[in-house]
């Protein structure tokens, strides 16, 4: 078996050798944005590109047409280490979250690990996960059993102008989120001639908003509840028979999210009672808070430095965002490496991200962080004690978070 340094060199050289192909995939996905569950071109391009490097590809996977699992077997039995790829865009903005870079990092990692898997025990997988932006693709894949045999998972994500990996609590944590739709059904009537014969569905929605506004005074500081009216009626002189709203409910933990969600649903029911209407509540998949592996995160950061990345940590504290990767972090050790794509701060979900995710600097950073991620995966294959420590940390996460 080749020694450790030789294997690391092979990983890096393979990624460098196919740099142009990796960036071509990143740019093709960037200029052809597709929203969640409609990433037909992106998923096909990524899956076929990985297949060319000796991977067995299952597509579709987990019952999702734009999901896939690409696997490369080593020389014998061992752990299953996965890199997760995202490739969905934002409606109206395109790749304002830089998922084209995440997709290309999956290809880069496949190339790097593909160059050394014949020397390793275990299986390396790239899992194509659609619809992170509001579609909870990873949640559906987890429910379908796609992650049942995976021992640890890795990702990358742009960090604006910052580069780092989480190494201590509460770095890398984020908010759990529930997406909830509320529909109110009333009774139409002429708004001037006989309003007393109507039941105003819009009033139900308005009372929902005012009730939630009152609740906000009494929730934990890191919680967030925000929503919009998606339908408010059809004509100003007709009592609305139908009105609807969409809310996101966020909290620092899955447990408190469920508690908060129960309160919001009671407010919705109370609003219906107050206005003589009926309410239909539709709950979508819940994305859990992120439980990053600090054991793997520390190695990830070391590998970032080893490939020449300048570490520039984010401000300390929980990230006020949500991701379906949180659900995966409840199943196994999981961590995301963040990397700068801009030398100046840029807002998330913006045209600036679209531009930076196709910039020379952004692509240079992509290649570097992909090497760091691939080397971290290599370490998990080569060092059973590293993976064991990560699993021990994962088992004791609640104690870690309570410190």
What domains sit in the chain, N to C, each tagged with a CATH number? 4-172+290-402 (3.40.630.10), 176-287 (3.30.70.360)
- Region 287-299 average pLDDT: 97
Residue of 245, 134, 247 lying closest to 180 (CA atoms): 247
Give residue 401's pLDDT band: very low, low, confident or very high (50, 70, 90).
Answer: confident
CA distance 243 to 258: 25
Give residue 301's pLDDT band: very low, low, confident or very high (50, 70, 90).
Answer: very high
Q: Residue 45 above 70 pLDDT?
A: yes
Asked if residue 60 has a cis previous peptide bond (ω within 30° of 0), the answer is yes
Give residue 403's pLDDT band: very low, low, confident or very high (50, 70, 90).
Answer: low
Tell me: the pLDDT tens digits for 114-147? 999 999 999 999 999 999 998 999 999 999 999 9
The answer to whether the beta carbons of residues 390 and 377 sit under 8 Å apart is no
pLDDT at 52: 98
Percent of the chain at pLDDT > 70 equals: 99
CA distance 180 to 177: 10
Average pLDDT, the chain: 97
The answer to whether the beta carbons of residues 155 and 138 sit under 8 Å apart is no
- Region 351-360 average pLDDT: 98
The answer to whether the beta carbons of residues 80 and 70 sit under 8 Å apart is no
- Region 346-369 average pLDDT: 97
Please identify which residue in the block is written with the tokens 């395109």: 94
The answer to whether the beta carbons of residues 12 and 307 sit under 8 Å apart is yes
Q: CB-based contacts of 143: which residues, under 8 Å, 6+ apart?
A: none
73 DSSP β-pair partners: 123
CB-count exposure of residue 299 (10 Å: 0-12, 13-18, 19+) = buried
- Region 4-28 average pLDDT: 98
CA distance 90 to 99: 9
CA distance 74 to 72: 7
Residue of 94, 51, 76 lying closest to 350 (CA atoms): 94
| 112: helix, strand or coil | helix
The answer to whether the beta carbons of residues 353 and 96 sit under 8 Å apart is yes
The answer to whether the beta carbons of residues 275 and 218 sit under 8 Å apart is no
CB-count exposure of residue 70 (10 Å: 0-12, 13-18, 19+) = buried
- Region 183-194 average pLDDT: 98
Backbone φ and ψ for 326, nearest 5 degrees, come out as -55, -40
- Can you give the pTM of this predicted structure? 0.94
Q: Residue 402 above 70 pLDDT?
A: no
pLDDT at 246: 98
- Region 343-360 average pLDDT: 97
Tell me: the pLDDT tens digits for 58-69? 999 999 999 999
Tell me: the pLDDT tens digits for 210-269? 999 999 999 999 999 999 999 999 999 999 999 999 999 999 999 999 999 999 999 999
CA distance 240 to 337: 49
pLDDT at 314: 84
| 246: helix, strand or coil | strand
Percent of the chain at pLDDT > 90 equals: 96
Backbone φ and ψ for 200, nearest 5 degrees, come out as -85, 105
Helix axes 360-382, 19-30, angle to 10 degrees: 120
Q: CB-based contacts of 158: which residues, under 8 Å, 6+ apart?
A: 97, 98, 101, 338, 339, 340, 341, 353, 356, 357, 362
CA distance 304 to 166: 12
In terms of phi and psi (left: phi > 0; alpha: psi -120 to 50; beta: otherwise), the region of 154 is: beta
CA distance 129 to 153: 12
Let me know the angle formed at the C-alpha of 167 by 87 and 354, rounded to the nearest 5 degrees. 25
Identify the DSSP state of 290.
Answer: P
| 307: helix, strand or coil | coil
Strands 68-73 and 56-58: antiparallel
- Region 296-304 average pLDDT: 98
Please give the sequence-ordered ranges of beta strands (E in DSSP) within 34-117, or none if there are none.
Answer: 56-58, 68-73, 76-85
CA distance 262 to 217: 16
pLDDT at 1: 58
């Amino acid at each position: 078996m080749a020694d450790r340094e030789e294997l690391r060199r092979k990983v890096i050289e393979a990624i460098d050798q196919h740099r142009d192909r990796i960036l071509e995939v990143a740019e093709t996905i960037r200029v052809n944005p597709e929203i969640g569950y409609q990433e037909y071109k992106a998923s096909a391009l990524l899956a076929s590109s990985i297949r060319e490097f000796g991977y067995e590809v299952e597509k579709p996977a987990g019952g999702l047409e734009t999901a896939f699992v690409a696997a490369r077997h080593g020389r014998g039995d061992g752990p299953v280490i996965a890199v997760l790829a995202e490739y969905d865009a934002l409606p109206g903005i395109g790749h304002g979250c830089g998922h084209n870079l995440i997709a290309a990092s999956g290809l880069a990692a496949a190339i790097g690990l593909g160059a050394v898997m014949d020397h390793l025990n275990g299986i390396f997988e790239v899992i194509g996960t659609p619809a992170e932006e509001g579609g909870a693709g990873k949640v559906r894949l987890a429910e379908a059993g796609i992650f049942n045999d995976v021992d640890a998972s890795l990702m990358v994500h742009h960090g604006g102008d910052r580069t780092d990996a989480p190494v201590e609590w509460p770095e890398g944590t984020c908010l759990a989120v529930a997406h909830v739709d509320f529909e109110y059904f009333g009774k139409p009537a002429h708004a001037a001639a006989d309003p007393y014969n109507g039941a105003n569905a819009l009033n139900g929605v308005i009372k929902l908003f005012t009730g939630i506004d009152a609740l906000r005074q009494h929730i934990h500081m890191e919680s967030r509840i925000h929503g919009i009216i998606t339908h408010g009626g059809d004509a100003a002189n007709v009592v609305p028979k139908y009105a609807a709203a969409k809310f996101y409910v966020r909290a620092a933990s899955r447990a408190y999210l469920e508690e908060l969600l129960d309160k919001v649903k009671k407010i919705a029911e109370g609003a219906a009672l107050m206005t003589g209407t009926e309410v239909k509540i539709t709950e979508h998949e819940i994305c859990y808070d992120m439980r990053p592996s600090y054991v793997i995160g520390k190695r990830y950061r070391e590998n970032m430095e080893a490939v020449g990345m300048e570490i520039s940590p984010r401000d300390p504290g929980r990230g006020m965002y949500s991701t379906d990767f949180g659900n995966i972090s409840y199943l196994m050790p999981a961590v995301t490496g963040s990397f700068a794509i801009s030398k100046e701060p840029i807002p998330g979900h913006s045209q600036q991200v679209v531009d930076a995710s196709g910039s020379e600097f952004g692509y240079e950073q992509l290649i570097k962080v992909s090497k760091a991620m691939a080397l971290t995966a290599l370490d998990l294959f080569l060092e059973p004690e590293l993976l064991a420590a990560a699993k021990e940390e994962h088992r004791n996460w609640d104690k870690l978070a309570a410190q």
